[in-house]
Structure 1
Amino acid sequence: MSTSNTPESGGPTAAPRALSAREPHVPAERLVAEMVPPPRFDTVRFDTYIPDPGQPSQHAAVKALDEFAAGLGGAHVSGAGRRGLWPRRPRRQAPPEPRGMYLDGGFGVGKTHLLASLWHATPAAPGLKAFGTFVELTNLVGALGFQQTVRTLSGHRLLCIDEFELDDPGDTVLVSSLLGRLVAEGVALAATSNTLPGRLGEGRFAAADFLREIQGLAGHFRTLRIDGEDYRHRGLPQAPAPRSDAEVTRVAHAVPGASLDDFGELLAHLARVHPSRYGALCDGVPAVCLTGVRPVPDQSTALRLVVLADRLYDREIPVLASGVPFDRLFGEEMLNGGYRKKYFRAISRLTALARDAAPLAERA
């Protein structure tokens, strides 16, 4: 559903610079300005999403989201504005419709494509609608502070949150409070995830202890289930086999601007760089070359790698690697644990980027 950038090789170039040698700085204002769909999803629209004929839920989701976007065309009215000047006696009535859409489904069914299409279809200026991953949203709160984040986003018509995940109790309370405040200010919400909103955090922390917050989050959304198989591998051959160290190094030197890293050194560097800066870490890099890829040793390292894989995929940066295949990055215990959906998404995306990188090796 989108094409990758495949930079032309131009003969020998200056020695490639390692991602692990980069120390990006991202000011808070850049975090806000970049809350738009990433390059891979800059041109997607509802009519470029191709529903699988065998999955009626995909067509139904397009229709529901298109109608939702059309309904956001009116003037922005804050929660305070709706309440009026004088308090009224509560009346018995049906609870209001959730002011949000929650796209639930497996990886690779086009949820991010649909979320970005909703952003593009919403009749509001870019500065009045925001798009970011769950990690980027929590990073924004860390950079601006809670109250300033509320003030920054409260005038928006729509907030889109991709890859909605709750990995710890602190995030549960933080996001529950933030979204509650934004909904009260009239901000519409849309989110994607591989987990139903009422089951967020399940298998990762004592979700039962935070049931009130989780149920509060679920109340903001109408869930749209999107079934189907991973489009990235639908009808395509298996991912290309890993290359040799020598071949990866040769390609890195032949492609202007490509990075070259030892996989272990890159993982160590990710531990020193905040995940909010992983996108900036890749700025201007047309291809990532990795030598010595091997299974990730622990869960903290694995989760950082998932974020990097998401940023590389968003930016359509091909990945050429030696070592073990990407489907062996995460051990059985990780793939059977609470973060398994994140790991499968990372494998899926890295596999697609490895396929994008195959022409580089052929031309170099």
Structure 2
Amino acid sequence: MNSKNLLTSKLFDETYHHTFNYISDYLAEVILKVLKDQSIVFDTGITMNEIFTKLTCTEEYKENVRWVIHYLIQQKKINEIDGVFFKENFTYKLYDESQLTTENIQPSMDVIRKIGENWPSIISGEKNPLKLLFGANETILWEKYFSNQHYLYSIHNYWAANKLAGLVSGKNKKILELGAGYGSGSEALLDALTSQHKEIESYTLSDISPLLVRKLKKNLELKYDTTRFEAIGLNIDQIKQNEEVKFDYIYAVNVIHCAKDPVQTISNLIQKMNKGGTMVISECTRGHYQELLHQEFIFSLLPGFEKINNERDYPNFGFLTPRAWIDILHETGVNDWCLEINPGPKCLGALMTIRI
């Protein structure tokens, strides 16, 4: 499915949910292999402390190890009896690769494999995950992952882009995008605006990395030569109020959950909007905190994806529930907002629209 078709098709359809489930099970298989290579097998039973010892896990990463073990339980690879973990006594594979469609999920598989190969060295403290995953040689890995050619990731971009483009009206409108990164969200919105024949006065790209958005600005100027772009470094935890710079629309895809205080961040952003302005926020979510998401295996190793609950059996990182986002919106004090959940059997995303 190409990006043009995604702009008008149903996004969270059966294919999407099937593909998400396949990648979830693929991760479980990778984890089992990684543990087996560390002499951790479940045939005769093993305790969590024995697993910690075999992995020479540092205190810092014990919650990541707990997450991995409980993820295997969720995916029905192992079970637990009185604190001892055993291999399931029957073969259970959720999805066969032959069932997959032609959708591009290789970026997810590549990142999972990369982390799996190095996971024991990370949790033992031998390797720094930031240096490992964001070194000069790994740029292409993340460009592909955060791309609109990556099916599982792009859906959230198009969901938010379609929403905001449909709300843009009038002339001389200014857009601010948060966490623009490699630009897939930017391209999704700009393509949606073009397809809906909407014109804007300016598009401000922001990211915690000024270098990244300056590079993105140059690339987008070549592709969208009728749009005026600005590029600024912006840390969402340090948003300053500047009355001279305000925006009509603010657009954020999978960014706000990284804020140390989402309530304060959203409140600060509201102050940067013109009267009558609109903010659209798209976030990956989980239906409840007993549900572990395959993306956590990747991002829990990075800053900004802190543990978000105190559950021993279900350690969660980063991704909130729709209920939690509703509570956050209430706390901001804003009155005109709505939250939509993706269609389908599993809650995997929330789309929030705030009007002032």
TM-score scaled to structure 1, two decimals?
0.27
Greater relative contact order (Cα < 8 A, sep 6+): 1
Compare the two structures and name the one with the higher strand fraction.
Answer: 2
